[in-house]
Amino acid sequence: MKVAVVGVTGMVGQVMLQVLEERQLPIDTLIPVASARSVGKKIHFQGKKLTVVGMEEAITMAPNIALFSAGGETSKVWAPKFAEAGTTVIDNSSAWRMDPSKKLIVPEINARELTATDKIIANPNCSTIQMVVALAPLHQQYGIKRLVISTYQSITGTGVAAVQQLENEYQGVDGDMAYPYPIHRNALPHCDVFVEDGYTKEEIKLVNETQKILGDSAIQITATAIRIPVVGGHSESVNAEFQKDYELDALRRLLHESDGVVVQDNPETNTYPMPLYAQGKDAVFVGRIRRDRSQPNTVNLWIVSDNLRKGAATNAIQIAEHLVAHQLV
């Protein structure tokens, strides 16, 4: 089993290496891949030093699986080339997510859709992944009619430059700005770029990807995505209106029994999810579960997860695990 990690020197690429080691995917050869400026650098994996190679060389090494986290433009160019050479690509960018010929996979929900002919598989957006892990069992049971979403997203979703900006601001150091404004002691209602109707691409991803993963384009969704100065993970306030009514205890029990979900919900002990404690974990944490007093069949949820792990690296590697377990590569 040969696995390439494309974009290995980036923030998600580094977490991919960590998660691969932790989950012990059966790898005989790991191929670290990055852009030309990083070729020749050394990375550490399973106690060994490995040399970063370029795209062309990586293709000639014939990996079974390539985990891509190198940005959409890179993926559009190189993912098809890997796929043509027989490699199954699991891509973490937005390049293929809404392509009708590509599957958008969260393993707890729809990994069963994968076949050996799927050579480019899309990994959803980080904020979408954690939300649908919690919502999928509720949709199956009660039928989601409408979602109102507010996200509170970690700066790690932007990358190394944003982390450096926050560190500089903590320390009072002038430096490059990843955002148009300071992020320290601030909240920016601006994730990704704005489009003509005033929404951002991040907000549109939450709409389109959720409908695709849950297989229901009739779900009405609106979202506001906010960047806040935390590093542990993304948080989401989700108001979900169902077609059917629910018993709160039954809904909470359903979440508790759902794969990948950890319920943290006890107001009496101040127990609720927080990114501070989600960091470094693979679960999706759900709390503040309460009936919406303003209208029927509606619940409020607070959903938190480490965006670099379940929101990116872990989800991609879980897809790889499914492919290996079912002999699809």
Q: Please give the full DSSP string across 167-184, using - where no structure is assigned.
A: HHHHHT-----SSSS--T
For residue 221, count other CB atoms closer than 10 A to its CB: 17
pLDDT more than 90, % of the chain: 100
Q: Which domains does the chain have, with CATH numbers?
A: 2-124+312-325 (3.40.50.720), 127-307 (3.30.360.10)
Question: How far does the chain reach from its first CA to its final CA, in angstroms?
Answer: 9
Give the mean pLDDT of 177-197: 97
Confidence of residue 318 (pLDDT cuts 50, 70, 90): very high
What is the reported pLDDT for 122?
98
265 pLDDT band, cuts 50/70/90, is very high
pLDDT class of 23 with cuts at 50, 70, 90: very high
pLDDT computed for residue 203 by the predictor: 98
CA dihedral 11, 14, 19, 24 (to 10 degrees): 160
Q: Could you tell me whether strands 284-291 and 48-51 are parallel, antiparallel, or unpaired per DSSP bridges? A: unpaired
pLDDT at residue 91, as a whole number: 98
Residue 104's pLDDT band (cuts 50, 70, 90): very high
Tokens of 121: 């598989």
- Give residue 214's pLDDT: 98
pLDDT class of 58 with cuts at 50, 70, 90: very high
SS3 53: strand
By annotation, the residues acting in catalysis are 126, 234
- What is the reported pLDDT for 6? 98
Binned at pLDDT 50, 70 and 90, residue 81 comes out as very high
Structure confidence by residue, pLDDT tens digits, 267-301: 999 999 999 999 999 999 999 999 999 999 999 99
pLDDT, position 297: 98
Which amino acid does the sequence have at 301? Answer: L
What does the pLDDT read at residue 302? Answer: 99
> Does residue 42 contact residue 52 with C-beta atoms inside 8 Å?
yes
Cα separation of 129 and 312, whole Å? 8
The contacts of residue 251 (CB under 8 Å, 6+ apart) are: 138, 141, 142, 289, 299
* Band (327; pLDDT cuts 50, 70, 90): very high
Q: What is the pLDDT of residue 77?
A: 97
Q: What is the chain's mean pLDDT, rounded?
A: 97
User: Which pLDDT value is given to residue 92?
Assistant: 97
Q: Which residues pair with 204 in a beta bridge?
A: none
